Amino acid sequence: MADLTLLSPAKINLFLKIVSKRSDGYHNLYSLFKTVSLFDRLTINLSKKDRITTTNSEIPCDSSNLALRAAHLFAKNYGKPIPLDIHIEKNIPVEAGLGGGSSNAATVLFGLNELLMRPFSNDQLKEMGSHLGSDVAFFFSKGCALCKEKGDVFQDFDLVDSTEITLVKPHYGLKTPDVYKAFQLQESTSPSLPEIENELNLQKIPFFNDLEKPAFFLKPEMRILKEKIEQSGFKAVLMSGSGSSFICLGEGLLLDSDLWRAKCRFISRSENGWY
């Protein structure tokens, strides 16, 4: 039966402001999301029954896997079951703030739509994505977007793709709900919304993350790690999303062999294509 292999990119947040706490327990954000050239590789196969396999033993291979939930949601909207064999070659670290699970879910939605001769539009896939997780819809942007509300409402934003970054992650991860729970709005010292808008109008990209403080509160060793990365020569260092990975701009010499790292660059996708 037909099969399809697709790249599933990581995302970073170049700035992340938490605007307010919502009554549904989530937080309203204002954040610049960007896809980068660190990829999982997904193979999907129309099959006789659902099966998911991955190269990372930390990832559940049951219906709690967001990629499988994406397939089920797609089938529900399609109006009939679509049993699938999904294999995920995992390169994006988990609990890293790099959106790996969300990207896998978006990639399954895109891939299934291709396999079934595009029954849904990009906007419909985006809408499905927003029901799976706050970050999923973003992957239906062109790869760079100003995201609002839970992160699922966005407008495309233009950035030069050639920018190179290094991602660095300690051996431990952080759970997104724990980091959001530890966030204290009154302690935020990030720029106001008009200040951010003003910078963007001047073609400047703010570089901050409101979730660093709660992440460093939960894992004090992360503050020390950030300082160490800065001292190794990088021009600027910032935690991505809810951590525990760091985005490093410029060049640095990090000798610590315990750290996972990846060099990558900004990437984008065409209107109806994929990565």
Examine the residue annotation and report whether 135 is marked as an active-site residue of this protein.
Answer: yes
Token pair of 267 as six digits: 């990437």
Token pair of 30 as six digits: 């204002």
C-alpha distances (whole Å) from 122 to each of 56, 68, 126, 271 are 30, 19, 6, 8
Token pair of 56 as six digits: 């990372």
Task: Give the footprint of ligand C5P on residues 146-185 (CB under 6 A).
Answer: 150-151, 176-177, 180
C-alpha distances (whole Å) from 37 to each of 129, 189, 226, 239 are 21, 31, 22, 18
Residue 237 labeled ligand binder: no
The string over 251-274, giving b where at least 16 C-beta atoms fall within 10 Å of a residue's C-beta and e elsewhere, is ebebeeeebeebebebbbbeeeeb
Cβ nearer to ligand C5P, comparing 120 with 138? 138
Given the residues 17, 34, 135, 219, select the one marked as catalytic. Answer: 135
Q: Which helix (H) or strand (E) holds 125?
A: helix 122-130
Distance in Å, CB of 132 to ligand C5P, minimum: 8
Distance in Å, CB of 23 to ligand C5P, minimum: 12
Examine the residue annotation and report whether 226 is marked as an active-site residue of this protein.
Answer: no
Among the listed residues 122, 135, 160, 96, the one whose alpha carbon sits nearest the alpha carbon of residue 274? 122
Q: Does 134 bind ligand C5P (CB under 6 A)?
A: yes
Distance in Å, CB of 26 to ligand C5P, minimum: 4
Question: 108 CB contacts (<8 Å, ≥6 apart)?
Answer: 42, 44, 67, 68, 70, 71, 74, 84, 86
CB under 6 A: which stretch of 57-65, 131-139, 217-225, 259-267 binds ligand C5P? 131-139
Residue 212 labeled ligand binder: no
Cβ nearer to ligand C5P, comparing 29 with 165? 29
Q: Does 26 bind ligand C5P (CB under 6 A)?
A: yes
Q: Does 244 bind ligand C5P (CB under 6 A)?
A: no
Distance (Å, whole) CA 245 – CA 172? 10
Cβ nearer to ligand C5P, comparing 129 with 252? 129
Number of chain positions touching ligand C5P (CB under 6 A):
11
Residue with structure tokens 């419909």? Answer: 124
Cβ nearer to ligand C5P, comparing 18 with 238? 18
Q: Does 29 bind ligand C5P (CB under 6 A)?
A: yes
Give contact residues for ligand C5P (rule: CB under 6 A).
26-27, 29, 133-135, 150-151, 176-177, 180
Residues with a known catalytic role: 11, 135
Q: Please report, in range form, the residues annotated as the binding site for ATP.
A: 93-103
